[in-house]
């Protein structure tokens, strides 16, 4: 009898032990996931240092890539990304205006932006789950910080945006300069942010429908194309635009806050190379769980870097409640958003968060100064940059408004103006007529390389439409420093807080959330995608795929354990009932 009474106790003890093992397995699994995310921030996109990216490429392949840059064809190369070495990755030029500018220049050293595709030749080769990274040449930004800071601002608001890091790029052991590495919005990105990549991913490019105006129910009336190779659900994207036109139930087709976060950052920084600037591009739409997610892209023209006419004062006073170039009627999504008071309130809340946190005077000065200290030596020795080192310093620290504003000066003036618009001291609307826009006021040369000059003042193919030399004054004289007072890099200016004069790089900056165009005849023997298909990738120990398989295996055993525990519990319960 006593033996029978002890059986339930033994079984109960076994059940408890199994449950403890299950809890432990879940904890280990959770820690593994956290570790991977932390490693991406620390090793792939750190914000406390400049990483080295070294590309080794056959000279013949490199020459071919440069000479056919506009075709954006991949060539094979090896890469050392911050110490993680991979063979047989795809490399190609990328860009729009920057690509055209570099391709048409006479510089011997072609400073192209590059796309690195880890799994173009080797299936599923990746860097901690990331398959593509863009190496941006920091075009049209003498401050070298606009895109870096803007993505960081999006992160502050919790937006699903690309991660970034500064990279010293070497090609065949030659230093090519300071680049910005930017995470690609692709299947890997979607899996990481949304848990799947099964929805349609659109990247509008100024074609029919990119302004999100409803035309008709006929898909042929739109030029939007799916980027990620899934079956197109034309009805969803057309219905999205129809709901925008009707102005009701917007939340049913759009994750509104994903758009509001973009709009807050873009408006505060006067980023007009975007939807709200009438360009109707530089954004993605991802169809997820029945609604579209807005994903921001390409921010190098933020902080008033995109020439759209108007004066310096108009750029600083860019209207926050009509944050568009031209009439509001040309922007159906923004108009629909602003017709809803609740959305407006949330939008103002995101702007306020940026002003009080990220763009607080002490915080942003500290962040810009730390970034300057982190990258200055790389900029100083960068012989391919679009701007000189002196123009870089001027673009960051200029504190005069004689001609244009440096980065910190523009931020100071812009933040003050936006606060006044928020509290009603000055107008935030213009009877639906929007803004005239800014005119590239970030310091350095007015207009910069995009307007037809390189960093040394040499003319390039393609001048401004008005035919003027952007580096000459009204009398045709070169405009180098233009009398701008630059805040010296040694930070001895008395206007800087005492605690800002020390080098804080030891503390580090807060980190972030810490097969196109290939000519098979150009591929070296044995290195075509088919040849490389079964080749195991060299690089970091433990491919992310292996880690994912290990986690899937852990999940299987956790689920199996839960089932066993449940059966055992039922068995004990039945035994106790029979005893009674």
Interval 234-259: pLDDT, tens: 899 999 999 999 988 999 999 999 99
Q: Are residues 25 and 106 in the same domain?
A: no
How distant, in Å, are the alpha carbons of 121, 188, 420, 559 from that of 124? 9, 11, 51, 27
Measured between alpha carbons, how far is 188 from 541 in angstroms, rounded to an integer? 19
Q: Are residues 151 and 265 in the same domain?
A: no
What is the strand order of the sheet 201-202 is part of?
A: 201-202, 283-288, 291-296
Measured between alpha carbons, how far is 125 from 119 in angstroms, rounded to an integer? 5
Q: Are 148 and 183 in contact (CB under 8 A)?
A: no
Measured between alpha carbons, how far is 385 from 454 in angstroms, rounded to an integer? 9
Q: In this predicted model, what pLDDT tens digit does every residue of 472-510 receive, in sequence order? A: 333 333 333 323 333 333 433 433 334 333 333 333 333
Q: In this predicted model, what pLDDT tens digit does every residue of 76-94 receive, in sequence order? A: 999 999 999 999 999 999 9
Q: Are residues 163 and 263 in the same domain?
A: no
Nearest Cα to 51, choosing from 174, 142, 164? 164
Q: Are residues 540 and 566 in the same domain?
A: no
Q: Distance of alpha carbon 495 from its chain centroid, rounded?
A: 33
Where among 431, 466, 500 does a domain terminate? 500
Measured between alpha carbons, how far is 202 from 233 in angstroms, rounded to an integer? 11
Give 478's strand partners.
472
Q: Are 403 and 354 in contact (CB under 8 A)?
A: no
pLDDT at residue 134 in the model: 98
Does some domain include residue 119?
yes
Measured between alpha carbons, how far is 540 from 3 in angstroms, rounded to an integer? 56
pLDDT at 11 over 80: no
Q: How much of the chain exceeds pLDDT 70, in percent?
A: 67
Does some domain include residue 455?
no
Helical (H) or strand (E) element with 89? strand 84-94
Q: Are residues 324 and 299 in the same domain?
A: yes
Average pLDDT rounded to a whole number, residues 102-123? 88
Our CA angle for 281, 283, 286, nearest 5°, is 130
Q: Are residues 140 and 94 in the same domain?
A: yes
Largest CA distance in the chain: 111
Nearest Cα to 503, choosing from 488, 490, 485, 484? 490
The Cβ of residue 505 has, within 10 Å, a number of other Cβ atoms equal to: 14
Does some domain include residue 247?
no
Strands 75-81, 51-56: pairing kind: antiparallel
Nearest Cα to 135, choosing from 189, 84, 79? 79
pLDDT at 10 over 70: no
Q: In this predicted model, what pLDDT tens digit does every residue of 503-562 receive, in sequence order? A: 333 333 333 333 344 444 444 444 444 444 443 334 443 343 444 444 445 445 555 666
Q: Residue 161 in 3-state DSSP?
A: coil
Phi and psi, residue 11, nearest 5°: -65, -40
Q: Are residues 97 and 23 in the same domain?
A: no
Q: Are residues 356 and 423 in the same domain?
A: yes
Does some domain include residue 230?
no
Give 53's strand partners.
81, 169
Q: Are residues 106 and 142 in the same domain?
A: yes
Average pLDDT rounded to a whole number, residues 341-354? 98
Q: Are residues 103 and 61 in the same domain?
A: yes
Q: In this predicted model, what pLDDT tens digit does every residue of 160-191 receive, in sequence order? A: 999 999 999 999 999 999 999 999 999 999 99
Does some domain include residue 222?
no
Please state the domain count of the chain: 3
Its domain, for residue 402, covers: 254-444+484-500
Q: Are residues 488 and 527 in the same domain?
A: no
The string over 122-134, giving b where at least 16 C-beta atoms fall within 10 Å of a residue's C-beta and e elsewhere, is beebbbbbbbbbb
Does some domain include residue 454?
no
pTM of the complete model: 0.74
Phi and psi, residue 254, nearest 5°: -140, 135
Does some domain include residue 452?
no
Q: Are residues 161 and 260 in the same domain?
A: no
Q: In this predicted model, what pLDDT tens digit does every residue of 442-457 receive, in sequence order? A: 544 433 443 333 333 3
Our CA angle for 186, 191, 193, nearest 5°, is 95
Does some domain include residue 507?
no
Encoded tokens for 209: 């429908």
């Amino acid at each position: 009898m006593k033996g029978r009474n002890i059986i339930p106790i033994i079984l109960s003890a076994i059940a408890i032990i199994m449950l403890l093992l299950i809890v432990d397995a879940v904890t280990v699994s959770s820690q593994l996931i956290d570790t991977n995310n932390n490693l991406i921030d620390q090793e792939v996109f750190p914000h406390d240092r400049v990483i080295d990216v070294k590309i080794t490429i056959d000279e013949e392949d490199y020459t071919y890539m440069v000479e056919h840059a506009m075709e954006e064809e991949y060539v094979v190369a090896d890469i050392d990304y911050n110490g993680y070495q991979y063979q047989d990755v795809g490399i190609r030029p990328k860009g729009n205006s920057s690509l055209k500018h570099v391709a048409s220049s006479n510089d011997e050293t072609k400073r192209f932006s590059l796309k690195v595709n880890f799994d173009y030749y080797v299936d599923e080769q990746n860097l901690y789950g990331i398959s593509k990274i863009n190496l941006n040449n920091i075009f049209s930004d003498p401050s070298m910080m606009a895109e870096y800071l803007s993505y960081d601002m999006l992160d502050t608001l919790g937006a699903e945006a690309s991660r970034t890091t500064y990279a010293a790029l070497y090609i065949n052991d030659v230093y090519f300069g300071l680049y910005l590495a930017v995470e690609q919005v692709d299947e890997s990105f979607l899996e990481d942010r949304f848990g799947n990549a099964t929805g349609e991913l659109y990247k509008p490019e100024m074609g029919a429908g990119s302004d999100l105006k409803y035309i008709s129910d006929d898909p042929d009336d739109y030029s939007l194309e799916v980027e990620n190779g899934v079956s197109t659900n034309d009805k969803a994207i057309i219905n999205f635009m129809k709901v925008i036109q009707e102005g009701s139930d917007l939340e049913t087709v759009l994750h509104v806050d994903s758009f509001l976060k973009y709009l807050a950052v873009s408006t505060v920084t006067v980023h007009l190379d975007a939807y709200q600037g009438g360009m109707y591009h530089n954004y993605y739409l991802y169809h997820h769980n029945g609604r579209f997610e807005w994903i921001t892209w390409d921010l190098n023209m933020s902080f008033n870097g995109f020439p759209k006419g108007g004066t310096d004062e108009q750029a600083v006073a860019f209207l926050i409640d009509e944050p568009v170039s031209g009439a509001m009627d040309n922007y159906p999504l923004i108009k629909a958003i602003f017709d809803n008071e609740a959305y407006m309130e949330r939008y103002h809340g995101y702007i306020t968060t940026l002003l009080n946190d990220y763009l607080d005077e002490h915080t942003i000065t500290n962040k810009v100064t730390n970034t300057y200290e982190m990258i200055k030596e790389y900029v100083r020795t960068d012989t391919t940059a679009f701007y000189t080192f002196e123009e870089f310093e001027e673009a960051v620290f200029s504190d005069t408004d004689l001609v244009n504003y440096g980065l910190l000066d523009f931020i100071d003036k812009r933040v003050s103006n936006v606060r006044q618009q928020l509290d009603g001291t000055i107008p935030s609307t213009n009877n639906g007529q929007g803004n005239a826009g800014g005119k590239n006021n970030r310091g350095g040369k007015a207009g910069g390389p995009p307007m037809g000059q390189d960093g040394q003042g040499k003319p390039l193919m393609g001048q401004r439409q008005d035919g003027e030399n952007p580096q000459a004054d009204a009398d045709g004289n070169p405009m180098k420093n233009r009398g701008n007072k630059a805040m010296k890099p040694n930070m001895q200016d008395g206007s800087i807080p005492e605690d800002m004069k020390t080098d804080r790089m030891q503390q580090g900056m807060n980190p972030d959330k810490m097969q196109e165009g290939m000519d098979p005849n150009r591929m070296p023997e044995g290195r075509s995608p088919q040849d490389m298909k079964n080749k195991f990738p060299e690089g970091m120990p433990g491919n992310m795929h292996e880690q994912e398989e290990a986690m899937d295996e852990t999940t299987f055993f956790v689920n199996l354990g839960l089932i066993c525990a449940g059966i055992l519990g039922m068995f004990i319960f039945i035994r106790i009932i029979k005893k009674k």
